Amino acid sequence: MAELSYDAAADVVRGRWSSDGGPAAAEIEIEVDGAAWSRIAGFDAPDGGGIREFHCSLAPVAQPTRSVVAAFAGGELLGRIDVLRRPLRNAHGLAAAEVLATDHHPFSALPWVSLGDAKLGLNGMHLPPEGDPSKLSVEFGDGVAYAVQSGLPSPDYRSHYWYWPNSDFAGFILTVDLAASARDSDPFHFRFVYRSGGNKGAGKRPIDVWLPPNFSSFVGFPADPSLMQRVQTWSNAATSATTGYNAYKTLEALFARSGVLQESNPRILDWGCGHGRIARHFIDASPGARVFGTDVDAENVDWCRTHLGPDRFQLSPLWPPTGFPDAFFDGIFGVSVMTHLTADAQHAWLEELARILRPGGVGLITFQAEGSAAFGSSWRDCAWWDRWNATGFDDGQIDSALEGKISEPTYYRNTTQSRDDVLERWGRFFEVSAIEPAIFGGYQDCAVLRKRAQP
């Protein structure tokens, strides 16, 4: 039998047992009050001697709650403990239960792609759905030979995703055996699928992920890493290539659904192009499309002009207007742009985007919604959270990524807004035909905007 303990500060149940004469099971099933809660990995204890350990977060509670937690290995009872569960709070007193109540998609970080032995290796992170690593599954189309390891340790995730139960089991490795996959299969597209079950009801909508099927997607990125890090914090050429391609495919699918790419030679604008990580794929893959890009970051625009085409890219002012004629574009996309603008700047730019988009044209504009507010909650206090819940909008935090690169030091923000806020404010300029939750890596939402026909 295992010796179970409850760590009230972390809201975690821990177990220790001897595999000598006891089960050495790799996977431990945890039940709370008789209901299945989570399946997590068991480990060899660092002190050795055939001792095994596990640790498992419980679902955050709002009030102190008595529960019975039981651990099983292969159906066999390992141990049982009575616990008085304590509400988990961050350093500023915000309760995890409150953050988790937003019921958002689990965050995922796009995989790092490698190749060896004709196998693609895809490494990444995905928060365990509903705190249960076994509820994450990965589905490829027919004919793809692949293997999935998930629920792997991710100790670094614990502090940032402090409110998400078992966020330290977010690692996954997918191995796609290309040589064993069928000729007409597509090993470069998969979905994260969330098994429903337990006591939380239906799983979340699947998230599609696309991988670059050609090494050419990795060729030619800025030699100065700061150019990339201004666009995506922590990024490098490898992650920019993968996330850029995935964003392109996601946008392509949304544009296709709206009919934009079916037109002959559509004009597409990458608003906030950065170093062209997305625009480059539209340029390569849609020879008929006339692809333009603009950004407030002059160095990145320069890089794009030199490497991706001088006529396509131009520097954007911080405030409209741009030099583009009225009704010029059939489609505009802006990934991680509104996420950096104040309410005033959003207003001004929505007006400008509506001006340069043709009637019937489509804008795909991402924003940081409820999920993003939760992801950033480790440094939020109760007052901030209450205000956010009341207003659904926050642009108070300055983002220093473009410091020294743009003329207004307080221009660039870290902006979060609710779906309702987008429906209301953006709806003044566009018909909001859909909001796609968590469609970019389970992180940013995307609003599908259509410019209304002229009255």
Partner 1 sequence: MTEPVADISMGDDDTIRGPLPGDCGTRVSVFCDGVRWAGVPVATDDAGRSTFACQLEPLPEPRKTAVEVRDAAGERVLSRSVMQRTRRTNEYGLAAHDVYRLGHPPLTALPWVGFDGVRLTIGGGHLPPRGDPSSLGVRFDSPGVVHTFTYPLRSPGWEDVYWYWPNAANSNLLLAIDLPASPSEADPFHFEFVETRDGDARKLSDVWIPSDLRAFLNFTSDVSRIDRVLKGNDPFSIVLPSYLHFRYLEEQFARFGIVDGAGIRLLDWGCGVGRLSAHFIRTWRQAEIRGTDIDAANVDWCRTSLGRERFEVAPLWPPTGYPAASFDGVFGVSVMTHLTAEAQAAWLRELARVLKPGGIALLTFAGTAGTAVGSRWRSASWWAAYSARGFDAETHDRALDGFIDDPDYYRHTGQTRANVRATWSAHFDVLEMIDAAFGNQDLAVLRRR
- Residues forming contacts to partner 1 in the complex (CB under 8 A) are 112-120, 145, 177-183, 185, 187-188, 212-216, 218-221, 223, 236-239, 241-242, 280, 307-308
Q: How far is the CB of 334 from partner 1 (least distance, A)?
A: 23
The smaller minimum CB distance to partner 1, of residues 152 and 178, is found at: 178
How far is Cα 63 from Cα 349, in angstroms, rounded to an integer?
44
The smaller minimum CB distance to partner 1, of residues 239 and 415, is found at: 239
On whether the CB atoms of residues 69 and 352 are closer than 8 A, the answer is no
Q: In terms of C-beta density within 10 A (0-12 exposed, 13-18 middle, 19 or more buried), how is residue 256 classed? A: exposed
Q: How far is the CB of 322 from partner 1 (least distance, A)?
A: 25
Q: How far is the CB of 312 from partner 1 (least distance, A)?
A: 13
- Longest CA–CA span in the chain (Å) reads 79
What one-character DSSP code corresponds to residue 95? B
The CA distances from residue 374 to 87, 101, 231, 325, 443, in Å, are 17, 10, 22, 39, 10
Q: Which residues contact 155 (CB under 8 A, 6 or more apart)?
A: 168
How far is Cα 332 from Cα 334, in angstroms, rounded to an integer?
7
How far is Cα 171 from Cα 40, in angstroms, rounded to an integer?
12
Q: How far is the CB of 180 from partner 1 (least distance, A)?
A: 4
Query: In 63-131, where do the E strands start and end?
Result: 65-73, 76-85, 108-116, 119-126
Q: How far is the CB of 239 from partner 1 (least distance, A)?
A: 8
How far is Cα 114 from Cα 38, in angstroms, rounded to an integer?
31
The smaller minimum CB distance to partner 1, of residues 154 and 240, is found at: 240
The smaller minimum CB distance to partner 1, of residues 116 and 201, is found at: 116
**194 has which bridge partners?**
136
The smaller minimum CB distance to partner 1, of residues 239 and 294, is found at: 239
The smaller minimum CB distance to partner 1, of residues 115 and 256, is found at: 115
The CA distances from residue 102 to 247, 311, 375, 442, in Å, are 25, 44, 11, 14
Q: How far is the CB of 152 from partner 1 (least distance, A)?
A: 18
Q: How far is the CB of 375 from partner 1 (least distance, A)?
A: 24
How far is Cα 1 from Cα 3, in angstroms, rounded to an integer?
7
Q: How far is the CB of 415 from partner 1 (least distance, A)?
A: 30
The smaller minimum CB distance to partner 1, of residues 26 and 182, is found at: 182
The smaller minimum CB distance to partner 1, of residues 125 and 362, is found at: 125
Q: Which residues contact 123 (CB under 8 A, 6 or more apart)?
A: 111, 112, 114, 171, 172, 173
